[in-house]
Amino acid sequence: MFGYYLDLALRSLRRNKMLTALMVLAIALGIGASMTTLTVLHVLSGDPLPGRSDKLYYAQLDPQDMKGMDSSKEPPEQVTLIDGLNLLHAGRADHQALMTGGSVPVQPEQSSLDPFYVEARYTTADFFGMFDVPFLYGQGWTAAEGEAKVREVVIAKSLNDKLFDGANSVGRTLRMAGTSFRIVGVLDSWQPNPHFYDLNTGSYAYGEEVFLPLQTMLELRLDRGGSTDCWGNGGGGVGNILPSNDCVWLQFWTQLDSPAKAAAYQEFLVHYSLDQKALGRFQRAPNVRLRNVMQWLDYNKVVPSDVRLQNGLAFGFLLVCLVNTVGLMLAKFMRRASELGVRRALGASRRALFAQLLIESGVVGLVGGVGGLLLAMFGLWLVRQRPSDYAALAHLDLSMLFITFVLAVLATLLAGLLPAWRACQIAPALQLKSN
Amino acid sequence: MDILPILSTLRRHKLTAWLLILEIALTCAIVCNAVFLIGQRLQRMDMPSGVAEHELLQIQVADVTTPSNPYARLAEDVALLRQVPGVQSVASSNQVPFGVSSSNGNIRLDPTQPERTLSATTYFGENLVQTLGTRLVSGRDLQSDDFVDVETAMKGLNTGDSKSLPHVTLITQTLSERLWPGQNPLGRLIYLTPTVGLRVVGVVDSLARPNAFDTAKTQFTMVVPLRMGANKDQSYLIRTRPEDRANVLAAAVAALKKADPQRVVTTKRSFDEVRRKFFQDDRAMAGILTGVIAALLIVTALGIVGLASFWVAQRRRTIGVRRALGATRSNILHYFQTENFVLATLGIALGMALAFGMNLFLMTHYELPRLPAVYFPVGAVLLWLIGQLAVLGPALRAAAVPPVVATRSV
């Protein structure tokens, strides 16, 4: 029966080539546009560390003075150096890392290469294990080495390729900002998107090429980037002067393996704030936050609002295309009232007619879906040509491919439902009579 | 043209007619809002910077090791750049309008007030007003004895020594109006820290922030006499004639590299590029919206063509009868045109309500302003036009139906 209906559907579609093309085109355009934007949205709002992100928490404290105090306000988005070091040394979490970013000049040994700047992450030792950073060669430094301000560096694969042609460079020397560092590790390709652990650097397609111990950076006063927020008499630091303790400029991440531990850690942050208040360093009542990765990304609204707007627009467009298809299909089915009347009179049940018409609309949906997929691939190619930082990430993955097809067929079947139902309401006698 | 027969015909095709109306309404609503969004983006891209955009170049150089005296290094560089043929003026600045990366301060008019009055961008650097080409409206420009080395100021801030901090500032007209509406700002104090007030000594016409994301706050800018040393975040700004820009930029970079071949030039561009880069997402969005509008109108037009063709084919015999009974070709033509007009009008009316609702949603979720009433007729006219254009073909085909059709197949 299915084969026969399919044959009927194809015949009917062929009879009205222009109209069929119109319906397929409308579906393809709608699906293409909405899948393009949905893919971009899907890529941008993805989990940067699947499987780990719910165990990683970002800590916020409120060390500000009483000016503009409002307990409903969020605490600052970063921590001061002194609080960061205190929390780090307290070691209450399963793992913890204090970090900030900047850029440092690399002076290659090869005379053929000019000095160049690379993005740097200054962090404490747990960073690599906590974020599950893959190593190609060697490993990170230990916490003790970090405290000893060792001149050690972990470099990214891209830098290793550039300077050492991809060879194992562990043990070799890298000269940066006038200081020699020993390479202890080379990372495999690693670029979490969004760049969740520090959103001040730009949220997407951002990756550091060198990783240095934070304590070493503090001693050498290497360049700091990102954002520094101060209050009171706080000075943001310049040149050799670090930001004062009235400025927040570092990120503190913890790994807490169970919800109970997370609750306990939040409690610890409150106690820490109370202790600091008793010492006279904090003035405000404890105002702490502990967000896991996805909560932190949500709170920061990392997905650009333009991307969400585009997605809304595309689905509006898909809706118009669907209404269009419903209208055309209805007109088409109603035009065949007499044919359907004859079939009914010859004994076909309503259910059979309904199935036949739905198969016809399903064929349109399938062809439209294929067209939509091609259009979406073209649309994503267009997105990749754009200068936005997230542009390069816009690729169709398997799950989106699947969703495209399901969406296309479902949408057209849905669009076919109403016309098919309407056409099945025809009274056969009336149609026969008028012939 | 009698409208009643049209209505009674449409009543017999209720579902199809409603679908067409719905399609027109959705298109109308989206188009109204999209045109409005495009207008917003274009307006944003036109945001004035207050500087001589076509005459400015920006260069950033970074030393591999921190120079022993960054202030002397910067002075040498500026002197060097002034020697480059074609250079009219050179300044150093910690930021540039539309440069994104910014330094901002919280302004208080009274050091004891709990909340800041507003946040303003603080430009640090010498010779800025002259080089940027912004106009001094009242008061005086900053003088060399106003300037304080930034590290001295930072140490003074940390130790509470107010003598080593700058004491004067320039502000923009907009900032002056916002802080002291209708009053003379000269001589008034602005507090960036609780201890030291900066006396306003001059007002400049206009100077945009690097982070001009909120149109209303774009001009909240002040120039503070802090002398910055050479560092990788400092920009050298060069004023030259528009036609000399490419040559001057190349010569200036060459001069800086010659002075120290180990240095890394991280930025070299004209201000036109600064602007283009800052507004690139707005330009892209305007392009996408234009594409969406075009696609929507095309799909809707094709939908109208499709449906009208069907109706014409379906009513061939009726048309033939009407023609046989004396209706002229133009009667038939007008019939279909009026039918489309009626449907479009209903769709547009519904579309207006939808557009309004969509705008309300955008206002709450995307911080957009209210849709001005002027956009409603734009959408209406556009859809009427599209409807009439789309129906013309099928209507002409209907008008061409000969009366003899009436006699056939009966």
Put simply, the answer to whether A67 touches B15 (Cβ < 8 Å) is no
> pLDDT for B283-320, tens place per residue?
988 998 999 899 999 999 988 888 888 888 888 888 88
Query: Residue A329 and residue A194: Cα distance in Å, rounded?
Result: 43
Q: What whole-number distance in Å separates Cα of residue A106 and Cα of residue A115?
A: 6
Looking at the domain assignment, is residue B271 inside a domain? Answer: no
The Cα–Cα gap between B408 and A392 comes to 64
Task: Decide if B198 is inside a domain.
Answer: yes
Same domain, B119 and B236: no
Tally of CB atoms within 10 A around B248: 22
CB contact under 8 A, A22 and B277: no
Q: Which of A324, A325, A431 to mutate to test the interface with B (most CBs of B within 10 A)?
A: A324
Element (H, E) at B227: strand B226-227
What radius of gyration do chain B's Cα atoms show?
33
> Model confidence at B224, in pLDDT bands (50, 70, 90)?
very high
Please answer yes or no on whether A233 and B157 come within 8 Å at the CB atom: yes
Contact A414, A321 (CB under 8 A): no
Average of per-residue pLDDT across B107-134:
89
Query: What residues of B are in contact with residue A330 (Cβ under 8 Å)?
Result: 15-16, 19
The dihedral sign for the CA sequence A282, A288, A290, A296:
negative
Chain segment B10-52, per-residue pLDDT in tens = 877 788 888 899 999 999 999 999 999 999 899 989 999 999 9
ipTM: 0.85
Contacts of A344 (CB under 8 A, 6+ apart): A350, A353, A426, A428, A431
My answer on whether B82 and B103 are in the same domain is no
Task: Rounding to the nearest 10 degrees, give the CA dihedral for residues A373, A377, A383, A389.
Answer: 110
The reply to whether B170 and B114 lie within a common domain is yes
Q: Tell whether B116 and B223 lie within a shared domain.
A: yes
Overall average pLDDT of the B110-124 stretch: 88
Q: Are the Cβ atoms of B313 and A240 closer than 8 angstroms?
A: no
Q: Is residue B388 part of a domain?
A: yes
Rounded Cα distance between A404 and A411, Å, is: 10
> Is the pLDDT score of B240 beyond 80?
yes
* Helix residue ranges per DSSP H, B235-328: 245-259, 271-278, 280-314, 316-324
The rounded distance, in Å, linking the Cα atoms of B231 and B62 is 6
Do B133 and B106 reside in the same domain of the chain? yes
Q: Domain tally for chain B?
A: 3
pLDDT of residue A399: 84
Based on the domain organization, do B149 and B99 belong to the same domain?
A: yes
The pLDDT assigned to A350 comes to 84
Is residue B179 located within the same domain as residue B72? no
Asked whether residue B54 is assigned to any structural domain, the reply reads no
Tell me whether residue B276 is in a domain.
no
What are the phi and psi torsion angles at A78 (to 5°)?
-135, 180
- What is the number of other CB atoms lying within 10 angstroms of the CB of residue B395? 23
d(CA B8, CA B333): 18
Predicted structure pTM score: 0.85
CA–CA min distance A26, chain B (Å) = 6
Does B217 map to a domain?
yes
The pLDDT-based confidence of B235 (bands split at 50, 70, 90) is: very high
- How many other C-beta atoms lie within 10 A of the C-beta of residue B387? 25
Check whether residue B99 and residue B30 sit in a common domain. Answer: no
Q: Does the CB of A319 have a partner CB in chain B at under 8 Å?
A: yes
- B-chain residues near A334 (CB < 8 A): 16
Helices and strands: H and E segment counts in chain B: 12, 13
Sequence-ordered alpha helix ranges (H) in A55-126: 81-90
In tens, the pLDDT along B72-88 reads: 999 999 999 999 999 99
Residue B273 lies in a domain: no
Inform me whether the C-beta atom of residue A103 falls under 8 Å from chain B C-beta atoms. yes
Best of B16, B213, B361 to disrupt the A interface (most A CBs within 10 Å) is B16
DSSP conformational letter for B139: E
Alpha helices in B163-278 (DSSP H): 173-179, 245-259, 271-278
Place of tokens 């499709």: B306
Same domain, B223 and B238: no
pLDDT value of residue A401: 81
Using only C-alpha atoms, chain A has a radius of gyration, in whole angstroms, of 31
State the Cα–Cα distance between residues B268 and B271, nearest whole angstrom: 10
Closest by Cα among A12, A32, A26, A63 to A245: A63
pLDDT given for residue A435 in this prediction: 45
Structural domain boundaries, residue B167: 95-227
Give the confidence band of B409 by pLDDT, cuts at 50, 70, 90: low
DSSP states along A334-390? HHTHHHHHHHHHTT--HHHHHHHHHHHHHHHHHHHHHHHHHHHHHHHHHHHTS-STT
Residue B110, in any domain of the structure? yes
Tell me, yes or no, if A310 comes closer than 8 A to chain B by beta carbon: yes
In this structure, the answer to whether residues B131 and B219 fall within a common structural domain is yes
**CB–CB of A117 and B232 under 8 A?**
yes
Q: What is the pLDDT of residue A140?
A: 93
Q: Shortest Cα distance from A126 to chain B (angstroms)?
A: 29
Q: Does the pLDDT at position B410 exceed 60?
A: no
What does the pLDDT look like over A301-354, one tens digit per residue?
Answer: 888 888 888 899 999 999 999 899 888 888 888 878 778 888 888 888 888 888
B311/A238 Cβ within 8 A? no
Q: Say how far apart CA A124 and CA A215 lie, in whole Å.
A: 8
Co-location of B244 and B203 in the same domain: no
Q: Where are the domains of chain A?
A: 2-45+304-434, 53-299
Q: What is the pLDDT along chain A (435 residues), one digit of tens a residue?
A: 778 888 878 888 788 788 888 888 888 999 899 888 888 888 888 899 988 999 999 999 999 888 777 778 899 999 999 999 999 999 999 999 999 999 999 999 877 788 899 999 999 999 999 999 999 999 999 999 999 999 999 999 999 999 999 999 999 999 998 899 999 999 999 989 899 999 988 778 788 999 999 999 999 988 888 888 888 777 777 777 888 888 999 999 999 999 999 999 999 999 999 999 999 889 888 999 999 999 999 999 888 888 888 899 999 999 999 899 888 888 888 878 778 888 888 888 888 888 888 888 888 888 888 898 899 989 999 888 887 778 888 888 888 888 877 887 788 788 888 888 888 887 777 666 654
Q: Which residues of B touch A417 (CB under 8 A)?
A: none
The whole-chain average pLDDT of chain B stands at: 89
Both B125 and B176 in one domain: the answer is yes
Q: Identify all chain A residues contacting B35, using CB atoms and an 8 Å cutoff.
A: none
pLDDT at res. B9: 79
Rounded-to-integer distance, Cα B391 and Cα B338, Å = 10
- The encoded tokens of residue A150 equal 């060792």
